[in-house]
Amino acid sequence: MTRLEVLHETRYDYAAPVSQSHHLAHLRPLDDAHQSVQAWSLAIEPAADHRREAADAEGNATCWFTLARAHDALAVTGRSVVEVQSRFDDLDPDASPPWDRVAAGLRYVSRRPYEPAVEFVQPSPYVPRLPALRDWAAPSLVPGRPLARAALELMQRVHDEFTYETASTHVDTPLAQVMERRRGVCQDFAHVLTGALRMHGLPVRYVSGYLLTSTGADAPEMVGADASHAWVQAWCPLTPGVPGGWLDLDPTNRMVPASGHVRVAVGRDFGDVTPLRGVIRGGGQHRLAVGVTTRILSERPT
């Protein structure tokens, strides 16, 4: 069990005053059996005129806020203290069911019981159906292969075959372009792995969160924590060591997340779980600065 503190700071500076703005934030970490939020605060400057917090359809904590007065800057700071427990220490990927049997079980058949995970097989705005994704993943998805083993191999292939390069893509860079250039950041790597598995009929959820970049002098440095991080959850039902059926995979760092990954929100793709977005009236050009700091407060054996 690791107790972490996360500080997420976002600042917009506008060239002209903003007369009114409406924002949606996904900044509060998820709270469940393996991740416990011990403290949480969200500071908004200038202070919001209206603010509402609730859970969305996927159980993500969301905050809507409105500023109805003129402002030339906006600063949003989320601070959380979270206890994270490693979930996949007992993972047995070779005991996972065959991937093609899982995919076949998700196809529509009249009167078959509905499986909610099928929602995450469908294409989404940032992860469209691309033949290039299907062809790229095919060598790892031979018939009868255990699903978790195939997903782990695809995670490693994204890490090995794509180059992590800061600022090489933008939020709206098409996935087809990422596939062609074979470079990007954690968001792109998560979308590639998501699309590759979905093209073969397998559900995948996009995860936004935070990453502890280093756990000690002898530990390797993690990549992708200068802002919020992204990875995926592959649907691996009936797999030993996968609680709830969703297996987390971080292709940026070629690892199964443990107690150094803090989950904030899950969705179909980045668009569902954007840390902070909004609509403004006025403002002109703007300058954006984002910083995330994650540190260990304490550790204890599970």
Half-sphere exposure of 84 (CA within 13 A, CB side): 27
In this predicted structure, the answer to whether residue 82 has a pLDDT above a threshold of 80 is: yes
Does 145 lie in the same domain as 49?
no
| 295, 265: one domain | no
Which residue, 254, 238, 236, 256, is CA-closest to 246? 236
**CA–CA separation, 199 and 115 (whole Å):** 18
Alpha-carbon span 57 to 51, nearest angstrom: 19
216 pLDDT band (50/70/90 cuts)? low
Lowest mean pLDDT among 44-53, 107-116, 119-128, 173-182: 107-116
Residues 72 and 219 in one domain: no
Domain count, the chain: 2
Bridge partners (DSSP) of residue 205 are: 233
Beta bridge pairs of residue 65: 23, 51
**Is residue 294 domain-shared with residue 224, that is, in the same domain?**
no
77 and 43 Cβ atoms separated by less than 8 Å: yes
The reply to whether 139 and 219 lie within a common domain is yes
Residues 248 and 294 in one domain: no
Output the pLDDT for position 300.
Answer: 79
**% of the chain with per-residue pLDDT over 70:** 95
Judge if 184 and 260 occupy the same domain: yes
And the tokens for 286? 């703007």
Average pLDDT, rounded, for the chain: 94
Say yes or no: 165 and 235 in one domain.
Answer: yes
Tell me: do 261 and 278 sit in the same domain: no
- In the predicted structure, residue 302 carries a pLDDT above the cut 60: no
CATH number at residue 169: 3.10.620.30
Q: Rg of the chain's alpha carbons, rounded to an integer?
A: 20
Give Cα 62 distance to the centre of its chain. Answer: 15
| The residue to which tokens 């998820």 are assigned | 30
* pLDDT for residue 179: 97
Residue 98 in tokens: 């065959």
Whether residues 11 and 145 fall in one domain: no
Q: Distances from the Cα of 249 to the Cαs of 114, 126, 176, 180, 289, in angstroms?
A: 25, 19, 21, 23, 28
20: CATH: 2.60.40.2250
Residues 173 and 208 in one domain: yes
Quick one: 129 and 163 in the same domain? yes
What is the per-residue pLDDT across 247-277, written as a single tens digit (0 to 9) for each? 999 999 999 999 999 999 999 999 999 999 9
How far is 72 from 190, CA to CA, in rounded Å? Answer: 34
Q: How far apart are CA 175 and CA 164, in angstroms?
A: 15
Range of the domain at 225: 93-271
pTM score above 0.85: yes
Q: What angle do CA 208, 40, 166 make, to 5 degrees?
A: 30
- For tokens 């792995």, the residue is 193
